[in-house]
Amino acid sequence: MAQAEHHEHHEEQTNTGLANRKMGFWLFLGSECMFFATLITNYLSNLGRSPAGSPGPEHFNLPVTTISTFVLLMSSLVMALSVYSIQRGDLKKTRLYIALTALFGLVFLGFQVVEFTTFVGEGLTISANIFGSSFFLLTGTHGLHVAIGVLWLISLLVYSFRGGVSQERALDVEIAGLYWHFVDVVWIIIFTVVYLMQRVR
């Protein structure tokens, strides 16, 4: 831990005391927040604007989506453990937790593929109506972000076996963790707005 703190002091820092890379990444996540806010607003503004009788939220399978949401939330916990492990210099556990996080991400994506395939089979497609366009744009964009995160984690895992991941470079894992937690938080919002609120309606 002392080595990680020592390395952190040698990182170029902003006036806030944060490392430049971490500060830059927080700014990037801020822009991503605005991007997803726009997609969510677009989805909400298009609710109820599709022709009567056309495919819509009635095709949602809340129990299945709830399970996939739980999987993604658990992946966030495991990602936090990977950051904790690398800060303590435990590379073996770091690799294990990174691998598990990537696996949970793949399971989530598998659920999403099954869900999308089912929707298409039932007539709810991206071109079916304005609801379908808004829904697939929002959830599909999030799925793309999850896929990017999975690739990032797999790259970190491979890199760790080449000596590129260590306690002295714990910030690399921490930044990947920030991205993964962001993706999870965004999904909680999407799940609430798209699936749970629709259920209440």
φ/ψ bin of 48: left (φ > 0), alpha (ψ from -120 to 50), beta (otherwise): left
Kindly report the pTM of this predicted structure.
0.87
What is the DSSP code (8-state) at residue 70? H
Domains of the chain and CATH, by start: 2-200 (1.20.120.80)
Q: Which helix (H) or strand (E) holds 107?
A: helix 91-121
* Residues 30-75: tens digit of each pLDDT: 999 999 999 999 999 888 776 655 667 788 889 999 999 999 999 9
* Residues 174-185: tens digit of each pLDDT: 999 999 999 999
